[in-house]
Amino acid sequence: MTFVSGPVTVRVPASSANLGPGFDTLGLALSLYDEITAEVTEDSENDGEQGLAFSIEGEGSDNIPRDRTHLVVSSMNRAFDVLGESPRGLRMHFRNVIPHGRGLGSSAAAIVGGLVAARALVEGGEAKLDDDALLALANEIEGHPDNVAAALLGGLTIAWTALGIGKAVRLDVLADVSVFIPPVSVSTHTARGVLPAKVSHADAAANAGRAALLVAALVGGRADVLFAATEDRLHQDYRAPEMPESHEFMSSLRADGIPAIISGAGPAVLAFASGSDLSAHTPAGWAYRELGVDSEGATLIS
C-alpha cells in the first residue's frame, strides 16, 4: 500500500526568527502551535483534479483560500512529488493558532506542517525524505531557512544555506519569552523589500559578533549579556517605517533595559523577559503572551 490508512495529525510550533542580530539565521521555536490533520481519500474531482476537502478553524479561517494554492496543500504536494506519490484526494482540518502576518512563523509552520504531514501519509515516507531533505525542501519553499528550521527542529536553531541548500543545527535553550502582538500585520515581502542591498562592514561585523554572543547568552545561560546580544544594525531600523509603532515600542522596552527585538520580519515584538511588570507595558489594542521555548519542533501527535 502506498498511503497509510486514516488521518495523521501534526503539531507544529510558532517561531521567532532573527532574534535581533541573527538575520535569516537564528530561529527560536515557541510554545504556540498550529495543528494539521490530513487524510488521503479516493475523491478526485470530476475533471481529474485532486479532490480537496478542507475545514479551517482559528486564525485566517475567513480569508484563507480553500484550494491547491493553500500553503499547507502546496507544500504537501511538493513532498508528494519528491516521494513519487500523487494522492487523488485529501481531506484536511487545520487548527490555526499562530497569528498570521506578525513575524511569528505562521507560514513556516504551514510549510513544515504540510511537509511532515505528507511524509507521514506515505508508507515509508521518512526513509525517503529525512529531516535534512525535508528542511532543504522547506527552505526552497520559504526562501530563507530560519523559521522553517525552528518549526521543524524546535529549540534554538542556527540555519544557513550552502549551494542553495538549507541546513541547520539545533541547540537546547531555556529562556523566558514574551511576545507583544499588534493588531496590524506586515507582509514579509514588504519587510524584505525595504532592506538595502549593501550594508557597511562595521554593521556587518557588529551583527556577526552579537549573533555569536546571543548563542552564548541563550545556550550558556548568560542573562547578563542578553541585552547587548540582542542589538541589531542590519534590519530593524530599516524596517521601522513599515512598523513604526512596533519599532517605537521595542525601543522603549530597550530604553528600560529589557532585551526586546522585532520578531522575525515583524511587527510583533519579542522580549526575553516575562512577568506582570513587563505585561503592564502592553500597548492598547495589542495582545501579550508569555511563551516557553518549544523543544520538540514539528511532531506527529497521531
Which cell numbers hold the place of 179?
Answer: 511576545
Interface with ligand HSE includes 17 (CB under 6 A)? yes
Q: Identify which of residues 139 and 188 has a Cβ nearer to ligand HSE in the complex.
A: 188
Determine the 3-state secondary structure of 174 from DSSP. coil
Which cell numbers hold the place of 262?
Answer: 522585532
Which cell numbers hold the place of 276?
Answer: 506582570
Interface with ligand HSE includes 294 (CB under 6 A)? no
Among 144, 247, 281, 289, binds ligand HSE (CB under 6 A): 144
Q: Which window, 154-162, 169-177, 186-194, 226-234, contacts ligand HSE (CB under 6 A)?
A: 186-194
Interface with ligand HSE includes 188 (CB under 6 A)? yes
Interface with ligand HSE includes 271 (CB under 6 A)? no
Interface with ligand HSE includes 265 (CB under 6 A)? yes
Other beta carbons within 10 Å of 4: 15
Among 9, 15, 18, 178, binds ligand HSE (CB under 6 A): 18
Q: Identify which of residues 167 and 222 has a Cβ nearer to ligand HSE in the complex.
A: 167
Count CA within 13 A, CB hemisphere, residue 226.
Answer: 22
Other beta carbons within 10 Å of 228: 14
Q: Identify which of residues 56 and 159 has a Cβ nearer to ligand HSE in the complex.
A: 159
CB neighbour burial string for 180-196, b if at least 16 within 10 angstroms, e if fewer: bbbeebbebeebeeeee
225: Cβ contacts below 8 Å, ≥ 6 apart: 213, 216, 217
Interface with ligand HSE includes 88 (CB under 6 A)? no
Amino acid letter at 213? Answer: L
Q: How far is the CB of 194 from ligand HSE (least distance, A)?
A: 10
Q: Which window, 88-96, 127-135, 142-150, 196-204, contacts ligand HSE (CB under 6 A)?
A: 142-150
State the Cα–Cα distance between residues 254 and 271, nearest whole angstrom. 9
Interface with ligand HSE includes 24 (CB under 6 A)? yes
Site for ligand HSE in 54-83 (CB under 6 A): none
Q: Report DSSP state, residue 222.
A: -
Which cell numbers hold the place of 156?
Answer: 534554538
Interface with ligand HSE includes 23 (CB under 6 A)? yes
Contact yes or no for 20/231 (Cβ under 8 A): yes
Among 91, 93, 192, 222, binds ligand HSE (CB under 6 A): 192
Task: Provide the binding-site residues for ligand HSE, judged by CB under 6 A.
Answer: 17-18, 23-24, 144, 146-147, 188, 191-192, 235, 264-265
